[in-house]
Structure 1
Amino acid sequence: MEDFPVELVRNFSIIAHIDHGKSTLADRLLELTGTISKRQKGVNAQVLDKLKVERERGITVKAQTASMFHTPPSTPSHRYLLNLIDTPGHVDFAWEVARSLAACEGALLLVDATQGIQAQSISVFHIAREHGLVIVPVLNKIDLPAAQPDRIARQMEATFGLKPDDMLHISAKTGVGVERVLEAIVNRVPPPAGDRNQRLKAFMFDSSYDRYRGVISLVNIKEGILKKGDKIVSTFTRKKYEVLELGIMHPEETPTTTLQAGQVGFIACAMKDSSEAHIGDTLHRAGEPVEPMPGFKPTKAMVFAGVFPVDSNDFLKLEESIKKLTLTDRSVTVQRDSSTALGQGCRLGFLGTLHMDVFRQRLEDEYEANIIITAPTVPYQVVYKEKGDKEKIVTISNPVDFPDMTDISSKVKEIREPLVKATIIVPEEYLGEMMDLCFSHRGEDMDYQYLEGASDTESTAEASRIILTANMPLSEIVTDFFDKLKSRSSGFASFDYEEAGYKRSDLVKMQFLLNAKPVDALALIVHRSAEQSVGRAWVKKLHKVIPRQLFEVPIQAVVGKKVIARETLSALRADVTAGLYGGHYERKMKHLENQKESKKRMKRVGSVDLPQEAFYDLMSTKK
C-alpha cells in the first residue's frame, strides 16, 4: 500500500436510480481490473450485492466497498488504486448514499438510456453536488433496441446542466465502452487531498459485526498512516483501541500492513460493543489528538412499527439480533415496547416502508427471527395548551400514546402530521391517473412541467415525460401508495420524496374492541375523512382471522365513544337437544333456554384474546 500515494488513488461512487445497472457496471469494472475472474456468458455475478435480500429483490440496500488496481494503457508506468464505494438506488436508503459519498471525490451518474432520468437520479445528483463531488455522466444500456442515447443526453443537459460531449455511452451488460469509464475515473476524478506525513486522521463511514472479531469498521484515511498494532482513540467516545487487523476490500477482506492518506479499508480493533462504533466518528493515534471531522446529520425516522417475537420467550434473543443488525444500518432507531396482546417487543423507526420490509427480511434471513410487525405509523406532533399563551409540543409515534377525544377537546390546541414533497416522473399519457392518485391521497399544491425542456419547434415525442410535484401527508404514502403508483402507470412512473415539515390536520385515534374490550396493538391514527373506510376494512379483516368462541363476539371500530363499524362473530353452538329422542316440546325448549342463559353469562365475564397467529395473519394480509 506504500506504493500508492494520494496522487495514484481515486475514490469514487456509482449513483443511479434503482435498476439502472449499477451493480452490473460494478461487476464489469471489477472484471476489467482483474479483481474478480471473468464471468460466464450471460451470467451477472453482482459481486457487491452480498445480502440474500439484495439478490432476491434485485436491488442494492447496503453500501459496499471494493478496491481495484488499474494500469491505464495510455500511462503504463502508473498503477492506480481505485476505491469503489457502491450505493443503493432507492429513496428509503438515501442516508446510505450520503454516507458513501462523504468518503469519495467523484461519482459516476448512471442513467438508463431506455428510461431516461428518474426521480432518484435527480435526488442523488443533488446529494453528490452538496458534497462537492466531480460528476462523470454515464449512459447505460445503449445496446437495447429501445435505447435513445441522444434524446436522454439532451434530457440530462436540460436537467443537470451536463455537457453531452462529457457523457460516456456504455453497455454494462455486454461490456461495451466500460474501458472508457475506467479512463474517465483516472483522468476526471481528482485524487484525495491528504498528506501521509501529517498526524493520523481516519473517518469511519460504515461498520459491521463479526461474532469472532467484534465490530469491523470501514474507514477513509484522511491524513497520516495507520499500521497494525497502532493504538487509536475515538474522538466521540474517547475510548482507546489497538488495531489488530487492517486491510482493503478486494472485494473480500484482504489484510495489508498499512493504510495511508487517501486510502479506504477496514480495521478490526477488538471493539466488542456495537454502540461504540459511531458512524461519522474521527479516529486518531493515542497521544496525537486532531480536529474531528463534521460527521453526519442524525437521521430522522419517518415510519415506525412495533416488532414482537411470535414466541414471547424469544424477546431477549430478538433484541440482541436487532442490536447487531442496526450496527450495519445506523438509520434505524430502537426502543423497547410492550403490548397486552403481543407481550414485550421493540419499537423501531425506519426511513420508509421498503426500508422496514428489508430490515424485517434481514432479521429473518440472517438471525432466523420469527417475528410479528405491526402496522406502520408516522411521527405526529401534538400541541398541548399550557398556562398563558405557552404551548408544549410532544412527538408521538405510537398510536397508544395518542390523546383520546376528550383530551383533544379540552387539552390539545392542535395536531400536526408530517408532510413530504413528492416528485413523480411519468409519461404524459399517465398524468391524469397520477393527479387523480395524488388527490385521492390528500395531495395539495400540485404542479408539473415537461422534463426535457423541449422547445416548441421540437416534436411532442421529445416532451413526453413530465415531472409532477405535490405536497402529501407522509401517512398516505407509507401503506400501498407505491403499489398503486406502479399499477396505474403500467410500471412507467418513478417516485421520490423529501421532508416538507408539519401541517395542522384533523386526526383521530381509532381503537378496536373485542367483546367491548380494546386491543392496544391494533390502535390506529387516521384522518377524519378516512375513518369510515378504514374502520370497515379492518373490522372485516378481524372477523376473518379471530377464532370463534362459545359466545357471540362483537368486533367494533371506535373513535371516542362513536362506533364506526361493527361485525359480529357468531358463537359456536353445541346441539344440546341431540340426546332427546321424542319427548315433549317444552323439554327441548328448557335445554335451549338454559344454553341461552349460559352464553349470556359467558359473554358477560368471558374475555377474547387476539391470538398471535391471528395477529400475524392480520398484519400479513394486504390492505
Structure 2
Amino acid sequence: MEHIRNFCIIAHIDHGKSTLADRLIQTTQTVSDREMQAQLLDDMDLERERGITIKSHAIQMYFPFEGKEYTFNLIDTPGHVDFSYEVSRSIAACEGALLVVDAAQGIEAQTISNLYLAMEHDLEVIPVLNKIDLPGAMIEEVSDQIIDLIGCEKEDIIHASAKEGIGITEILEAIVHRIPSPKGNPDEPLQAMIFDSVFNSYRGIEVFFRVFNGTLKKGDHVKFVNTGKTYGADEIGVLRLQHEPKKEISAGNVGYLISGIKVAKEVKVGDTITHVDNPTQRQVKGFEDVKPMVFAGIYPVETSEFEELRASMEKLQLNDASLVWEPETSAALGFGFRCGFLGMLHMEIVQERLEREFDMTVITTVPSVRFHAIKENGDVVKVSAPSELPESNTLSHVEEPYIRAQIITKSEFIGPVIALCMDKRGEIKNQVYLTSDRVELTFELPLAEIVFDFFDRLKTISRGYASLDYELIGYKKSTMVKLDIMLNGEGVDALSAVVHRDKAYEWGKRLCEKLRELLPRQMFEIAIQAAIGQKIIARETVKAMRKNVLAKCYGGDISRKRKLLEKQKKGKKRMRQVGNVEIPQEAFMAVLKLDQ
C-alpha cells in the first residue's frame, strides 16, 4: 500500500489541468502514442467542442522510481464554478492535490475556492506554476501570490509547462515524496466509498469507488449501505484508459464494480460498499447534499414522451450527481420536471446532454431561484416556481437568497464591475488589493440577479479578466412580486417570473416586446399583457393577418363593402374566443436573452 498515491488536479478554468494530465499519462507511458490525443480524458463530445472539462475523470498510471513501481490514481477535475460538486467528490477520494496556477494569469477566484475544498479534507497540496514558456509569464509575481495563499516555501513550487513537457518528471517525483500513501487495513471488514457512476446500456450501471479498508474480491456478495441492496461483484477492476479487470482490489486503491444493476435509483454517490457476511460498522462520511442555485422546468415537447424523459433523467443523474429533479405539471406544457442546477452553464450542458445522449427534445422554462414566502400566520412556503407563490392577501413578505460574491479583477476595471453589481442590487462589502494591479472585491448580491447574464456581462466589461466565485449566505426580506404574462387574457404559467417590484415594469415591458417579435401571426389579433395581480403593467399586440374581402368589390356601394367588413369582424371575434396561441420554443428562451 505504501506504493499507492491518490491525487487530483485542481485549478481555475483554462489553467491547463487536462493538458497536464495528458503529459503525466504520456510520461508514465500509460497509453501508446497511437491512442494519444489532446485532452485524452475529456471523452464527451461536448467537452471537446467547448474545450472545458465537465466530468471528473479517473485513470491509473504506473511510475517506476528508485527501483520500485508506484501506482498513481489520478483524477482530472473541472475548473468552472458550476461543476464544483465534481471537484469536491474527487477530493474526497484522494490524499493529495496538484494546485495548478497559470503563470500568465495568476491566482483566480476558482483557484482559491478549490484550494479551500482541498484544505478542508487535509490534502497535501503541491503547487505547480504552469505555462512558464509563455511570453507573458510573470513567474516571480505569481510565485509570491502562491506563497501568500498557501504559505509554502519558494522551492516547493514546481515550475512547469504542460504543453512543452517541462517539469513533468519533477511533478511525478514530488507526488512520490510529498503525497502520503493511503492509510487503511486490508484485513478489516470492507469499507469503500462510491464517488462516481456511469450508465452502460449493455452492462447496467458501472460504479466507481475508493477502498478505505478491507479487500474486495471478484464474486463477493456486497451490500450498498444507504439503499440496503445486495449484489454480486461480477466484475471488478482498475481504471486504465479502458477498464482492466482484476481479481481483487484492496485498501487504498480506486476501481470499478459491475454487477448488472439496472435501476438508477439504487446507486447513490457517497454511499458505502461493504460485504454482506462481514459488514463494516463505520460508514464512510459521504458528501454533503448538493445545493442547487438555479431552478427551471424541463418538459418533453411531446407529452407522450414523459416516461422516456424520466428514464433519461435518471440515467443522466448517475453521471451528474449535482442534478436534482422532481416531477411537476404546468397548464401550458403538461407533465415535466422541476430541476435544480448549480448555475446557467450547468443547465445548458444538461439540456444538451439530454438531446445528444438520449435523443430527447425538451423545452426549458424560465430559470428562477428558491424564495421563502412567509405567510401572515408565520408558515414558510418554499417557492421554486412562480406558480407556487401564495396569493398576495395571505402573504406577509418574501425572502430571497443572497450570496457573497468574490470577484478578482484588474484594478482598471473596478469602476465598471462595481457599477454592474450596483445595478444588480448588490452591496460592496470589501475591497482588497492582492497586488498593485489585482483587486479582490467582495459583494453581497441577490442570487436571482446573477442567475441570468451576470457572468457573461462581468466577462465582457473586464475583457475576460474578472473571475467569480460565490457562496450562499442566507435569506433576506425583499419586495418580490409575481409577474404574469397573459396571451388573450389567458395566463401562460411557463413564462411567469418572480421579480423585484422596482424592476417589474421594465422586465414586463421588455418581455412583451420580445414576445411580439417571436409569436407567429394568427388570423386573429393576439394581446400580450404583463400583469402583477390584477394590474396590467405592459401590453403589446400581434396584429391579425387578414384576407382582403373587398377584392371582388370594384366600385359599387359603400354599404356593401361595410357589410362584408362587419361579417369578417364577427368571424375574427369568434375565432379569438376559440383560437389558442401556439408558443414556439424560442419564446420560452427569450426571457434568458432579454438584455441582448
The question of a shared fold, defined as TM-score above 0.5 by the shorter chain, is answered with yes
Q: CA deviation at 1:488?
A: 0.4
Find the aligned partners of 2:583 and 2:479 in 1 and give their Cα distance: 33
Cα deviation for residue 614 of structure 1 reads 5.4
Task: Tell me what 2:109 maps to.
Answer: 119
The yes-or-no answer on 1:310 pairing with 2:310 is no
**Matched residue of 1:62: which SS?**
coil
1:402 is aligned, of 368, 385, 389, to: 389
Whether contact under 8 Å (2:494, 2:588) holds in the other structure is no
8 A Cα contact 2:366 2:494, kept in partner: no
Deviation per CA, 1:198-227: give whole Å up to 9, x if none.
Answer: 221111111111112211111111111111
Shift of 1:585: 2.2
1:574 aligns to what? Answer: 547
Aligned AA for 1:215? I
Superposed counterparts of 1:232-271, under 5 Å:
232-271=222-261
Matched residue, 2:374: 383
Query: Is 1:14 matched up with 2:9?
Result: yes
Partner of 2:93: helix, strand, or coil? Answer: coil
Q: Is the 8 A contact 1:214 1:271 kept in 2?
A: yes
Question: 1:47 & 1:273 partners in 2: Cα distance?
Answer: 30
Name the CA distance, whole Å, in 2 between partners of 1:98 and 1:592.
69
CA distance in 2, matches of 1:430, 1:71: 49
Aligned residues: 594
User: How is 1:190-589 mapped onto 2 (pairs within 5 angstroms)?
Assistant: 190-290=180-280, 291-386=282-377, 391-403=378-390, 407-408=391-392, 410-452=393-435, 463-589=436-562
User: Aligned with 2:298: secondary structure?
Assistant: strand
Residues 289 and 380 of structure 1, relative CA distance in 2, 3 Å threshold? same
CA contact (8 A) 1:553 1:568 kept: yes
The SS at the match of 1:610 is: coil
Report the alpha carbon displacement of residue 164 of structure 1 after superposing the two structures with TM: 1.8
- Secondary structure of the corresponding residue to residue 289 of structure 1: coil
Mean alpha-carbon deviation: is it higher for 287-296 or for 126-135?
Answer: 287-296
Aligned to 1:35: 30
Which of 121-130 and 82-91 deviates more? 82-91
Q: Do the aligned partners of 2:300 and 2:361 also contact (CA within 8 Å) in 1?
A: yes
Q: Kindly state the Cα deviation for residue 620 of structure 1 after the two structures are TM-superposed.
A: 7.4
Write the distance in 1 (CA, Å) between the matches of 2:526 and 2:475. Answer: 40
Letter aligned with residue 170 of structure 1? A
SS at match of 1:71: strand
The CA deviation at 1:345 is 1.4
Measured in 2, the distance between the counterparts of 1:228 and 1:615 equals 54
- The residue type equivalent to 1:411 in the other structure is T
Q: Give 2:131's aligned amino acid.
A: K
Output one character per residue of 1:326-373: Cα deviation in whole Å (capped at 9) or x when no partner.
Answer: 111121111112222222211111111111111111111211211111
Superimposed CA distance per residue, residues 246-301 of structure 1 (whole angstroms, 9 cap, x where no aligned partner): 11111221111111111101011122211111111111111212111111111111
Distance 2:571 2:276 in 1: 78
Secondary structure of residue in 2 paired with 1:357: helix
Distance change in 2, residues 1:87/1:504 (3 Å): same
- What is the alpha-carbon distance in structure 2 between the residues aligned to residue 378 and residue 39 of structure 1? 48
Distance (whole Å) between structure 2 residues aligned to residue 134 and residue 39 of structure 1: 34
Cα deviation 1:457-486 (Å, max 9, x = unaligned): xxxxxx110001101011111101111001
Amino acid aligned to 1:46: Q
Measure how far apart 1:617 and its partner are. 6.2
CA distance in 2, matches of 1:613, 1:276: 35
Distance 1:296 1:614, change over 3 A: closer
CA distance in 2, matches of 1:165, 1:117: 18
One-letter amino acid of the structure 2 residue matched with residue 103 of structure 1? A
Letter in 1 for 2:50: R
Partner of residue 106, structure 1: 96
Q: How does 1:37-56 map to 2 (within 5 A)?
A: 37-38=32-33, 45-56=38-49
**What is the root-mean-square deviation in Å for CA atoms of aligned residues?**
1.6
**Structure 2 residue identity aligned to 1:382:** A
Q: Aligned partners of 1:26 and 1:602: how far apart in 2?
A: 64
- Runs of 5+ unmatched residues, structure 1: 1-5, 453-462
Partner SS, residue 2 of structure 2? helix
Matching residue of 1:71: 64
Alpha-carbon distance in 1 for matches of 2:91, 2:586 = 44
Once the 2 structures are TM-superposed, how far is the Cα of residue 612 of structure 1 from its aligned partner? 4.1
Mapped partners of 1:39, 1:21: distance in 2:
22
Whole-angstrom CA distance in 2 between matches of 1:616 and 1:350: 18
Amino acid at match of 2:388: D
Match of 1:23 among 18, 25, 29: 18
Task: Quote the Cα distance in structure 1 between the aligned partners of 2:178 and 2:592.
Answer: 49
Distance in 2 (alpha carbons) for counterparts of 1:614 and 1:447: 40
Q: Which residue in the other structure is 2:153 paired with? A: 163
* 1:302 partner letter: M
Separation (CA, whole Å) in 1 of partners of 2:214 and 2:153 = 37
Give, as a single letter, the amino acid of the residue that structure 1 aligns with 2:443.
A
Per-residue CA deviation, residues 9-40 of structure 1 (Å, 9 max, x unaligned), is 00000000000000000000000001023489
Residue pair 1:209, 1:328 contacting (<8 A) in 2 also:
yes
Residue 366 of structure 1: SS of its match in structure 2? helix
Shift in Å, 1:186: 0.5
Identity over aligned residues, as a percent?
44
Q: Structure 1: how far apart are the matches of 2:46 and 2:594? A: 21
1:271–1:120 distance in 2 versus 1, CA, 3 Å: same
1:531-555 Cα offsets, whole Å, 9 max, x none, are: 1211111101111122222222211
TM-score, with structure 1 as normaliser:
0.93
CA distance in 2 between counterparts of 1:411 and 1:292 reads: 45
Q: Tell whether the 8 Å contact from 1:373 to 1:619 is kept in structure 2 after alignment.
A: no
Measure how far apart 1:616 and its partner are.
5.5
Aligned-residue offset at 1:568: 1.1
Q: 1:527 to 1:201 in 2, by over 3 A?
A: same
